[in-house]
């Protein structure tokens, strides 16, 4: 199958390698996680949108994260769920749909980094320049930074996937549970030097920019907090900083595991599971951590449930 000419746009996707006995438990688990991701993130976005008291830069940036998490989960999980009960020989996907899925999956990953970079800058201004916070983090600035976070992701990933789409294909099997950029260019028998170089440079730039900016930002925050000034302001801000750092570390570690495992073909099954976890664990945790750890959001959630119980 892999050696025949790929004149058709129909590809075979490997999917998850589960036994028939494990299909139902795996389906239920992934479905519950997917429903939870969608409900928690969309609920958080709606809550921030309708409550005027939460129309602050920090919470509006949370909306970006919630939208991105719902977007990323919807890119991967529905197709993965549908393939669980499909025999391996019948798990097909059109090449155009595969390319779109790869594009959306990588946009989700890069946007997670760029949005967290913007959130780190927001925390820096809140802690280090509180008197200028309102003027620096104006509504126009928040919109511009949010648009830039998404725009950078779309442009860089478009070039990444575009380099793979241009290649001719000699294989028809996607050796992954879902389509991503490596699975796209591995369908080709052409020289992949450009794809590998751009892919490595792309990963290095995203991770170094993300890690560098977050590290420098929080180093400055720590210096200011250790100076002992504005303890009340710093105490409130540091709660959000701790939340932000927790999510960043989870996302960074899960992303690095996938990148590392791509270099070890013998660990392909572990890599497949890790790639799914990247699109499941952070999106499932983000809304919960933000909603429960940030006092203003937690109070609004409690107030909403209290009003609903009184009306009932």
Residue 148's pLDDT is 94
Q: What is the C-alpha separation between 24 and 30, in angstroms, rounded?
A: 10
Going from the N-terminus, what domains does the chain have, and what CATH number goes with each?
7-310 (1.20.1070.10)
DSSP element (H, E) containing 113: helix 95-128
**Which of these ranges, 22-31, 38-47, 225-234, 296-305, has the smallest mean pLDDT?**
225-234
Cα–Cα distance for residue pair 210/252, rounded to 1 Å: 9
> What percent of the chain is modeled with pLDDT above 90?
20
Mean pLDDT calculated for residue range 272-297: 75
Q: What is the pTM of this model?
A: 0.84
Give the pLDDT of residue 186.
85
Question: How does residue 270 score in pLDDT terms, banded at 50, 70 and 90?
Answer: confident
For residue range 163-217, what is the model confidence (pLDDT) as tens digits? 999 888 888 888 888 898 888 888 888 888 888 888 888 888 888 888 888 888 8
Segment 226-242 shows an average pLDDT of: 61
> How confident is residue 1, by pLDDT bands cut at 50, 70 and 90?
very low
Summarised one tens digit per residue, pLDDT across range 221-233 is 777 777 765 555 5
Using CA atoms of 179, 182, 184, 187 in order, give the dihedral in degrees to the nearest 10: -120
Give the Cα-Cα-Cα angle 159, 264, 189 (nearest 5 degrees): 50
Question: What pLDDT score does 169 carry?
Answer: 85
Confidence of residue 236 (pLDDT cuts 50, 70, 90): low
CA distance 110 to 8: 31
Q: What is the pLDDT of residues 35-76, one digit of tens each?
A: 999 998 898 888 888 888 778 888 888 889 889 999 999 998
pLDDT score of 7: 46
Determine the straight-line distance between the first and last CA of the chain, rounded to whole angstroms.
60
Q: What is the pLDDT of residue 298?
A: 67
What local confidence, expressed as pLDDT, does residue 53 receive? Answer: 77
- Could you give the percent of the chain with pLDDT greater than 70? 82
Scan for tokens 């429960």, then name that residue. Answer: 292
Euclidean distance between CA atoms 22 and 91, whole angstroms:
17
3-class DSSP state of 3:
coil
Rounded Cα gap, residues 109 and 116, in angstroms: 11
**Burial annotation 21-56 (CB, 10 A radius, 16+ → b, else e):** eeeeebbeebeebbebbbebbeebbebbeebeebeb
**Integer Cα distance of 249 and 92 in angstroms:** 35
Mean pLDDT of the chain: 81
Instruction: Report whether pLDDT(97) > 80.
Output: yes
| Of 93 and 237, more confident | 93
Q: What is the pLDDT of residue 309?
A: 61
| Cβ(199)–Cβ(164) below 8 Å | no
Residue 253 to residues 131, 245, 280, 282, Cα–Cα distance (Å) = 35, 12, 14, 11
* DSSP characters over 184-196: HHTT--S--HHHH
Residue 312 has pLDDT above 60, yes or no: no
- pLDDT higher than 90, residue 107: yes
How high is the pLDDT of residue 210?
A: 86
pLDDT of 152: 94
Mean pLDDT of 147-157: 95
Residues 6 or more apart whose CB falls under 8 angstroms from that of 197 comprise: none
What element of type H or E holds 13? strand 10-13
pLDDT score for 307:
64
pLDDT for the residue numbered 5? 42
Sheet holding 173-174, edge to edge: 92-94, 10-13, 173-174
Give the residue-averaged pLDDT of 3-22.
70
Nearest to 82 by CA among 179, 174, 181, 15: 15
């Amino acid at each position: 199958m892999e050696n025949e000419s790929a004149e058709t746009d129909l590809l075979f996707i490997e999917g998850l390698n589960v036994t028939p006995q494990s299909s139902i438990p795996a389906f239920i688990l992934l479905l519950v996680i997917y429903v939870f991701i969608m409900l928690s993130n969309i609920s958080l976005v709606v809550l921030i949108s309708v409550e005027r008291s939460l129309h602050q830069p920090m919470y509006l940036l949370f909306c970006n994260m919630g939208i991105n998490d719902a977007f990323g989960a919807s890119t991967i999980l529905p197709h993965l769920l549908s393939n669980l009960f499909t025999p391996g020989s019948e798990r097909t996907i059109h090449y155009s749909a595969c390319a779109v899925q790869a594009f959306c999956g990588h946009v989700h990953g890069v946007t997670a980094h760029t949005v967290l970079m913007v959130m780190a800058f927001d925390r820096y201004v809140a802690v280090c320049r509180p008197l200028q916070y309102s003027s620096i983090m104006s509504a126009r600035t928040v919109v511009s930074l949010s648009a830039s976070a998404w725009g950078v992701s779309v442009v860089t990933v478009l070039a990444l996937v575009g380099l793979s789409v241009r290649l001719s294909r000699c294989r028809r099997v996607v050796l992954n549970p879902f389509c991503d950029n490596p699975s796209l260019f591995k369908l080709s028998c052409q020289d992949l030097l450009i794809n590998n170089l751009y892919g490595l440079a792309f990963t290095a730039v995203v991770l170094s920019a993300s890690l560098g900016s977050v590290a420098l930002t929080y180093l400055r925050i720590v210096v200011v907090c250790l100076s002992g000034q504005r303890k009340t302001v710093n105490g409130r801000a540091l709660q959000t900083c701790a939340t932000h750092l927790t999510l960043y570390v989870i996302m960074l570690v899960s992303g690095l595991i996938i990148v590392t495992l791509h270099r070890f073909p013998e660990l392909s099954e572990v890599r497949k599971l890790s790639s799914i976890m990247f699109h499941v664990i952070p999106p499932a945790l983000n809304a919960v951590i933000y909603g429960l750890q940030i006092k203003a959001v937690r109070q609004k959630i409690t107030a909403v449930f209290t009003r609903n119980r009184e009306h009932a």
